[in-house]
Every structure is written in structure tokens, then in C-alpha cells.
Structure 1
């Protein structure tokens, strides 16, 4: 297996921090009246979030490890996609596999097919039953219209349900009334060969506003460690709309939808039953989908409101190793009210129907190929004021019924203590589950073929190693213990610290089955069972410092210690990760942004490796953005990404993929508003 040379051991977190402080020392720029961000540090700590309690509350009052990426953060980071934006968040591991694939998860168990993270876009779940996870490459939005991204690290199952085991990500776009007028963006560069997007919003009456958008891009291929092209270039187009209307003084109605279509190229190595028992193919994944969401909200009184949401979502994906069609119908009702002076209650109920068609491929079969699952759920959460302005207790639970494991109960207890207005201490204990995916229940996957008369297989017949799903009616389970502290020592500094201990049980693991003679080959099955226990613990830090009115620093640090990799199902997580973002207003019309990231060495589970793992070196990288506004309506910017090395490796796909490196890249961008 070809590996890139190790980075010099001198490039360590101390070097990373030194570069950040060097920036501070070398930035005596004038501009006392300039502002790096629209919100002060105090405003950011008090920004409203809705993902923690399914109601509006200040971030500082949240009893969970929550981080918010604002629209300004997205703009000044220079990112062009959601996964790269998530690198700002402490506790998340984001690794780019190749030009069109990412591995994303919270607090461990990162992989291409990570299955313990629940992701929403405007309350719409983005999910595939194939592996109970997310295809990040097709989760696209117009970043210009994103209001914020709320990220909960740790379980959120009490409100959001199964699969919200290690975290919840909620991407929230702006209301149509906040996106009036037009904006056009275009650009291109090395990896970002070309992209363009346009949005126009307008009033459609005294109480109705709407917008529509269209966007598309073409991204170039990355390279193998050998320098050869990886054949992973891709292109996508997407469009959508949103209409918000106030039908009465108490009622608000939102209707929105999206359509997308794309071609994703990839080079795969698939096992075969004929010599050389593995075939390299140039494949194109055809992806498409659409959704329509309607949300009705009614204010019953000053302390009570209800929400009803209806969703219809379809998607298709056809590639060499999987062929999927999914239809999702989701109905969700929620009621929020206050009972007396001490109880703030949220309850709700939901129904979800997922129908899938998973056709047979050369390496993957299902029995049955088509399945319809019905999920019923209800939840109740009560925030109880114990001591006025000092102490709150939140108790709640979600009860679900699914057709695989039956009833699941996911309770939590959370405590918030505020000894002083700018100091918040919280603690939580909660349970979350992940229900089995279609592969685990009904699938049979050809992982690789061991050639005959080889060291591993001295027999005259090839040995086909397969993973076979066993519907053992067992969900993966997490009991999580969390502790956090938020404080503002001054009006220009905020610190958010979280620590946790995760105790997992019934995790998926492969167990050796009985070999079976198949005439021309021997099948060696590995059964997918839920009988592995594991633990993980760690700490996360997010700090923001408004150094001057023209300079802001954002620091994120992640420490993770996990033994999830012991059974070889996932790789070893990076123990340390550091992110330092510096936003500088050089003048009123010129912005400079620098983003340093350090990621510790790690490994990935890799079936093609003799020992089943692939080692990945630590790396230090820098992104830089320089923007100029020659007039209020026009912005010109240039962005450089991964500038410290010509390329580096971040991850490798578990099966069928080849190692690929992330290159240094540059692109230019023009934004015009009207």
C-alpha cells in the first residue's frame, strides 16, 4: 500500500498556535470604526437556537454541547460546501475522502458510512436507509441563504429520535422576508473549476414573501498518492423555492422545496470471482432527488404555540455497488406552552413512512429488495425552574415504535445552574439508540475475494468474504454523561467547555460464520451482529475573542479518546484537533481571513489492507480569503485552500475506494447584489 511521507514532527500544535499569535502581533491595522462581524461576542452567546429544546432559547442557556455557525462565519471561511463548514465545530471530525466524498461524525466512529449522526435541513431529515447515514455530497444549499447551522455534539434523541446518537446537525435557512432582492455569484479556479448561483426574492403581497434560487458547479478530480488522477470529478445542479405567508395575525405558513441532479465520477475496485479477483472500474454515480415541505405555525397565546409539518422527499442513486430509490413521508406535530411560572413544556408526535427499492448489484444483494417501514413517535420534555434565575431541571423522553426493534425509549435529564448571569454550568445524562440499517437487516455484501493458492488461502478455490446482515432485533445503545461550562470573563471574550463519557452497548460487529462450498468458490461469511461494547471520552473547547473592533479570533479544540476501533469496524480517531480562525477588517472595504487547522494522526478501516487498517498522518493546513468591495453591491474575493502543502491525505473509504489526497487549491469569486 502506497503511503505519503510523514509530516515533519516539528509541525505540532505548538507551531499551530505560534502562527496564530504571530498574526496578532503583525496586524496593527488602523480602522477603529470597522467591524469584523455583525454581532458582538455577547450577542453571539445570546443568539437564539432551536435544536436543543425544539423551542427558541439563548445559546448560553442550552443544556447541551451546542455550537452555532452563523451566515457570517460561512461567508468569511471561504467554504463552498456544508461538510467543510462543519470543520469549525469542536467535537466533529470532518475528513475529505476524495473530490466528492466526506467522512463526518461527532465524538468518534467517523467513516464514509457513519451512522450515528442525525442531519436536518430546515427540519427535513436527510437520511438513507442503506446505512442509516448521510450522503454529504448531495446535501447542498445556497450558503448565501443559510441563517445558521446548529450543531449538537452528543445525543439529541429525546427530542429528535433514533440515530441522534452522537449528535444532531440542523441547517436553518433564512426566512423569505430576509432574502429580498437578488444576488448572483460566479467563480472558478483549480479544484473549483466553475460555479454559479442566483437567488431572487420579492414580496408577493402585504404578508407574503417568496424567493427562488438556482445553482450549479463542476469540480475537478483529486490525485492519488502516486500523482495519477483519481477520476473523481463531478458536477451538480440544484434549484428551489420558499414562500412564507402570514395568513392571519396568529398563523404563519411556509412552503418550500428543492430539486437536484448530478453526475459523480469515481474509480472503484470491486471484487470478482475471476482472476485477478479484483477489477478497477471508472464509474459514474447518477444522483437525483427532490422534496416538498409545508410548515404551519399558530400562536395560541403569549405562552403557547403549535407547529405542524408535512414532508415529502424522494431520492435516487445508481452506481456500481449500490442502486437505491427512497420515498419518505413525514408528519410532525409539536406543542410548546408554559404551565404556571415554573414549567416550560414541549410535547409532540410524529409519523414517518420510508419506502425503498434497493436493486441487486454485482457486490450487494437484499432480501427483500423493497421494503416499507412505518415509524410512530411521541415525546415530552419539561423544563422546570427550581430556583429563580439560578437553577433549572429538564426532564424528557421520546418513545418510538419501528418495525425492526419495536419500542424504543430514549430519556434524558439535564440540569442548568447559573451562579452569575455570565456563568452557566450544565450537566446531562441521556440514552440514545441507533436502529439497524437495511444492510444490517437484509443485506449481503461481497467485501473481497482471497485468491486461491495464496498465503491467506492455500485451497484451489477462491474464497469470497461476505458481510451478511442478521435481523437480530437489536439497536445500538448509548448512555451518555456530559458536563459543560459557558462563561464570559469580559464583554469581548466567551468560552464554552464540554466534557463527556459515552458508554456504548450492542454496537455492530462482524463475527466469523461457517464457510460454505458454492461449487466454484468458497464463501466465508461474516455475520453483522450487535454484540460489541465500547467507551469514549473527551473534551471540547470553543473560545471567541473580539481583540479589537477590526480583529476577531475563534479557537476550537477537540480531545477524543476512544476504543471504538478495537473491533476493526471503524478506524482510530485523531486524538487532538485544533482550529484557529482570524477575521481581519483591513479597511472598510477589504477583509482578510485566515484559518489554520491541525488534525492529529489517525487511521481508517480499510478492507484492501492486509491488517484491515490504513494509517493517516497528522496534517496542518491553512485556508486564506481576501475580499474587496469596490461598491456596496459588488464583492470580489480570492480564496486559497490547503495552502501549506501541495496535497495531504485525510481519509480512505472502507470498501471499494482507493487512497486519494486533498490538493492545494485556489478559486476566485464575484458576488453582485441588486
Structure 2
């Protein structure tokens, strides 16, 4: 079920407002001290430096990647640039612990550890600078509307495995945390333009200083995307295009650090299940503020955001308004590193079906709320052994109270290797479709409850040599109360959504890098997945457990990064994805390549090729939405000054 808003005047107003405010507040101090690397600082991090990169997603406080007791993969800013990706979903293909299925020109299904598919990928929480991109309509992410200026991304932290104890319901199989750069690190002007046989993009950003240590920036980006292909040949009439703009300011006031940022976007995409090419408008806006200060031997952070989303098409109109307020305090006490927090979110969700539509949501409008408190304690049992205990309590409008515990144990072996294990419980709360979708006489909104998982994980991360690093983890997940559709036991009809699904998944995720020389790095990633699902004997399911997804038993990623000369880079990537089960969609192998030439320190020209091995390939088993994708070539020019 797909539904696609802000005028150009509103975008222009936002772009103009923050720079003007910043200019008024800025003084005549020298250039910003402590600013991060410029956009054209292309120095590749060593494997040792990568291991020491600070991540925040595992513990909700800074810790080095080498010490993070979880299956976490970090996509760096340089990785994104060298990939040639033109959208956020394409950049996420770099994570070996994610399965990315492109559905059509702009829609994607993305999951970790199974349950993938356009209608099924509902167990992955995605955050953008602390703002949840999850939709209460279907529990997924509308990737056609959720994008970001890739040049502004600092890193993407991808955790496979439950994150319920810190992030709550819907962080069931993983968390994607997208972190953008501080405005203080993006002063000056950046211009990026690119075009190819499938895509065209542009991005313009300008920023300046704000006080001695702060900064501001404003940006505008746009894209057009050509049609994908029908399986029988010919265009699938799903071309798309859109504009996005926004601004951010970061500054200090004494010991306080403050951030204010916002975005607006307006996209036109196509509803094309029937190849009609009917235009759909997807638009929205958001505003986020964050206040951080040292207190009580630690750091207090308070964050609030507002998010407006609108989608208009002939099948109906959807819109939602989300208000979120959260606070957390991270501090140390002796051997204990504690994080305490709480939050409240309210969503005003509305979906009005077109007149005469057979199916609709009843009621058409709902006010949903989510309240939570959480606590986590990392206890240094010895100098090498750390025990993490965490729990989150949530109360939501649909399923009531949720209890989400987590226990982790990390052992740092001599030499810095990390062995870790975890047991977690997570859940996914019902969405509006599962509770309110109505087709009179056939389907009624029911009493669908939360799906749950108990996850067992074991991992090992090491750098056995200066030139080699790797991470490997194994998981075993037990699922209960999965979504099913059942006949009424007495009258047959109407059908209702129920919780009779259960089962297990298990697999291995591994990735690593090897510096062949100081100019050549190779890497590999492998993920495997086995599934065993069934219907509880006390119930039934007429869908054949369609909610459990369509997944490959393995996927393999290989990459090579070469600095041919001081100004010439060559990047090669190979992806092999096994046959999707249960649909039987054929396996595929594809290659991407990018050649980047730095004409000067401030000017880079690149040529990228994607899907170079096959004329056409299909990535999804959804028969109503299957589209084919062919080779593409993209030329981009980026300059900063």
C-alpha cells in the first residue's frame, strides 16, 4: 500500500531563515577552531583508525567501534563518496548485514536478518540524527520520501540484532542510525552535479561560522530518476523527481551545545502496480532541536522534533504529524557507565480513502501515543570483562505495555580482540493497517497484538595483524505472535489479522578488510539466513505466512579500493544474492565500478557504472511490483570552495 508536501515558497523561507539568523549572531572572530575535515579531504582511514572510530548506537553514548559488543558495521563518509551512490537506499547496499531489494524506480525493501519484502520489511528501526523514520501506517520506511544530502552524512551505523532495550519497539531485527555532520564542519560552498542514463542529481550547500566554535549551513538538492523496466520489456512508467532543502545550525552557549535543523521536501513519483504511471505527490517537513550539556559527571541531552508527512494519490490521502520529546543522561560512577532516559511521542495519523474505495481505515483518523523509560548499566567486572544490563518499558496506544530487556557480556582479550554475547527481547507494535484496515463483509480490523523475538547472539571482532581486521557474529532468533490472517472460526467471514505465526531463524554475519598495500584495500562480507516458520496449532493462516518475508539464504559482497595515483581512485564492488525464498526469485550477481579523478584539491570528476554484468535483473519477489533494472552509467562533478 503506497501513498506519496511543502511548496517551493516554504522551502525558500527555511533556506533563507537560518543563514540570516546565523549571520546576525556571528561575530568577527577568526576562522572556526577545531572544525572537521573539509569535503575534499580524501585521506583514507587506516584499519587501526577505523577500529577507533567512535560509535553511539550500541550504548547511546560514545565508544570505539573496537569495543562495541554488537554486530555493528559503519559506513563512513568516504565509503559513500567512493560508492557513487545517488540515494540513501543505494548507499545502504554497502552494509553486508543488510539485504536491500529495489522494488521500482524509488521504492526499496530493506531488512536485517530476514523478513524482507515491500509489505514485510517492518522490523528495522531507522534514525536520522535521532529522528525516527518509522511510519505508524505500515511499520516500515517510505524510502521514496526518506532521503538525505549524502555529502552531509558523517557516517551510518548499521546494527543487526535487536535494539529494543535502548530504542524500543520496532528495533526488532536491527537499527540504522544515520548521523550527519556538524554545521561547523561544513563551512564554505559545495556544488555537486551528476547525470547518467538513469539518474540526474544536483546538490548545493553553503555554510559559515557561528561564533567561535559553531557554524550554520543551508542546502538544496534535486533528482530525477528514469523508469525501471517491465519484466516483458519496455518502460514501467515509474519515473520520479523531487526537491529537498534544509538548514542546520550548531553553536555553544557556555557549557551548553545546541543544534537546530530542519528540512522540507516535495517529490513526484508514480503509482505503477498497473503501469498506469499515475503521479503521486509525496511531501513533508521536519524541525529538530537538541540541547546538550555536562552535568553530574556526565552528559545530559534533551531533544525534540516535529515531523509532517503527506502523500496524495487517487487511492487516498495520507498525512501524519509527529511530535517527539526525549531526554537521556549518560554518566559514570566508579565501575559503572549508566544511561538513563525517557521519551514521549504522539502521532496524529489520518488516511482518507478515495470515494467508493472497497477497503478503508476505520476510523480514518487516530491519535497514537508512545511513552517510554529506559536504563542501561555497563559494569566493568574486571579490566577486560564488561557486563551490560539494560531494560526499556514502553506503553503504546495499541498493545499497551512492553518490557524489553537486554544483557550483554564483552571480553577484551590480550591484543585488543573482543568476544561478546547477548540475549535480548524485542517487539514490534501493531500499525494502523493491522488494526484498522476494513473491507466490509471480508476483512475487519481486529485485536492484532505485538510480534516478539528473543534473540541470542555471539560475536568476535579482531585485528590479528596491522593490515587485517574482521568481525563475525552468529545469531539464533525465536519469534512469537507473528502476523497471520484467519477466518472467523464460526462464520468463515470476515477475516481478521491474528498472531498465530511462530518460528526460528539462525545465521552468520561476517566481514573484514585487508590492506594489500598502503594504496590498495580489499574487503568482503557474507551473511547467511535459515528460516523455520509454522502456524500455531491453535490457529490458522490463509496467507501461507507471507508476513515472514522473502529472503536469500546468503549474500556475498566483495570490494576493492585502489588509489592508482595521488589523484586517481578506482573502486570495484561485486554482489552475489541467492535465490529468494519462498518466492523462488532468481539469484543474481552484479558488479559496480567507480573511477574518481581529483583534478585539483577542490574539484573531483567521477565516472560510475552500476549493474555491469547483466542486461536486466529483478530484486524482489513481490509479483505485483516486480520491476527489472539494467546497466547504468553516471558522471558526477563536485567542487568546494
Task: Judge same fold: TM > 0.5, yes or no.
Answer: yes
Which of 589, 597, 619 aligns to 1:620? It is 589
> Is 1:39 the counterpart of 2:45 in the alignment?
yes
Which of 317, 328, 335 aligns to 2:329? It is 335
Which of 479, 485, 492 aligns to 2:467? It is 492
Distance 1:64 1:353 in 2: 30
> Is 1:429 the counterpart of 2:423 in the alignment?
yes
**1:417–1:426: 8 Å Cα contact kept in structure 2?**
yes
Distance 1:401 1:490 in 2: 48
Q: Quick one: structure 1 residues 323 and 364, their matched pair in 2 at CA, closer, same or farther if it must change by over 3 Å? A: farther
Distance 1:283 1:653 in 2: 20
- Counterpart in the other structure of 1:610: none
Distance 2:584 2:64 in 1: 42
- Secondary structure, counterpart of 1:84 in structure 2: helix
Distance 2:523 2:195 in 1: 28
Q: How many residue pairs get matched?
A: 589
> Is 1:374 the counterpart of 2:369 in the alignment?
yes
1:53-132 matches, within 5 Å, as: 53-113=59-119, 114-132=121-139
- Counterpart in the other structure of 1:141: 148
> Is 1:247 the counterpart of 2:240 in the alignment?
no
Distance 1:470 1:131 in 2: 15
**2:216–2:247: 8 Å Cα contact kept in structure 1?**
yes
- Counterpart in the other structure of 1:542: 511
Q: Quick one: structure 1 residues 321 and 478, their matched pair in 2 at CA, closer, same or farther if it must change by over 3 Å? A: farther
1:604-631 deviation digits (Å, cap 9, x = unpaired): 6xxxxxxxxx431111100010111111
- Counterpart in the other structure of 2:271: 266
**1:571–1:602: 8 Å Cα contact kept in structure 2?**
no
Which of 446, 451, 474 aligns to 1:470? It is 446
How far is 1:363 from its partner? 4.7
- Secondary structure, counterpart of 1:85 in structure 2: helix
Q: Quick one: structure 1 residues 572 and 356, their matched pair in 2 at CA, closer, same or farther if it must change by over 3 Å? A: closer
**Is the deviation greater in 212-221 or in 130-139?**
130-139
**2:406–2:425: 8 Å Cα contact kept in structure 1?**
yes
Which of 380, 386, 397 aligns to 2:381? It is 386
How far is 1:43 from its partner? 1.0
How far is 1:434 from its partner? 0.5
- Secondary structure, counterpart of 2:151 in structure 1: helix
How far is 1:652 from its partner? 4.3
Distance 1:36 1:195 in 2: 22
Q: Quick one: structure 1 residues 572 and 187, their matched pair in 2 at CA, closer, same or farther if it must change by over 3 Å? A: closer
- Counterpart in the other structure of 1:555: 524
1:360-371 matches, within 5 Å, as: 360-361=353-354, 362-371=357-366
- Secondary structure, counterpart of 1:569 in structure 2: helix
> Is 1:630 the counterpart of 2:605 in the alignment?
no
> Is 1:444 the counterpart of 2:438 in the alignment?
yes
How far is 1:282 from its partner? 3.3
Distance 1:550 1:307 in 2: 41
- Secondary structure, counterpart of 2:184 in structure 1: helix
Distance 2:533 2:514 in 1: 35
**2:477–2:505: 8 Å Cα contact kept in structure 1?**
yes
How far is 1:147 from its partner? 0.2
- Counterpart in the other structure of 2:56: 50
- Counterpart in the other structure of 1:506: 481
Q: Quick one: structure 1 residues 84 and 525, their matched pair in 2 at CA, closer, same or farther if it must change by over 3 Å? A: farther
1:545-624 matches, within 5 Å, as: 545-564=514-533, 567-603=545-581, 614-624=583-593
- Counterpart in the other structure of 1:214: 220
Uncovered stretches (5+) of structure 2, i.e. residues with no partner = 1-40, 535-543
- Counterpart in the other structure of 1:228: 234
How far is 1:421 from its partner? 3.4
**2:103–2:625: 8 Å Cα contact kept in structure 1?**
no
Two-structure CA RMSD over aligned residues (Å): 1.8
- Counterpart in the other structure of 2:632: 665
Q: Quick one: structure 1 residues 571 and 382, their matched pair in 2 at CA, closer, same or farther if it must change by over 3 Å? A: closer
Which of 277, 299, 309 aligns to 1:305? It is 299
**Is the deviation greater in 80-89 or in 238-247?**
80-89
- Secondary structure, counterpart of 1:197 in structure 2: strand
1:321-363 deviation digits (Å, cap 9, x = unpaired): 45210000000000011112x1000000101011111112425
Distance 1:575 1:321 in 2: 36
TM-score (norm 2): 0.89
Distance 1:550 1:525 in 2: 64
Distance 2:43 2:175 in 1: 26
1:264-303 deviation digits (Å, cap 9, x = unpaired): 013224xxxxxxxxxx6432221000100000000126x3
**1:66–1:153: 8 Å Cα contact kept in structure 2?**
yes
How far is 1:467 from its partner? 4.7
Distance 1:534 1:548 in 2: 46
Q: Quick one: structure 1 residues 467 and 499, their matched pair in 2 at CA, closer, same or farther if it must change by over 3 Å? A: farther
Distance 2:533 2:86 in 1: 31
**1:111–1:570: 8 Å Cα contact kept in structure 2?**
no
How far is 1:590 from its partner? 0.7
1:110-134 deviation digits (Å, cap 9, x = unpaired): 0113111110000000121110110
**1:159–1:398: 8 Å Cα contact kept in structure 2?**
yes
1:116-172 deviation digits (Å, cap 9, x = unpaired): 111000000012111011001111111111000001101001000100000000000
Which of 401, 411, 417 aligns to 1:417? It is 411
- Counterpart in the other structure of 2:17: none
1:633-648 matches, within 5 Å, as: 633-648=602-617
- Counterpart in the other structure of 2:163: 156
> Is 1:353 the counterpart of 2:359 in the alignment?
no
Which of 311, 320, 335 aligns to 1:317? It is 311
**2:117–2:550: 8 Å Cα contact kept in structure 1?**
no
How far is 1:377 from its partner? 0.5
**Is the deviation greater in 161-170 or in 614-623?**
614-623
How far is 1:653 from its partner? 3.8
Distance 1:445 1:196 in 2: 44
How far is 1:220 from its partner? 0.3
- Counterpart in the other structure of 2:26: none
- Counterpart in the other structure of 1:9: none
How far is 1:39 from its partner? 1.0
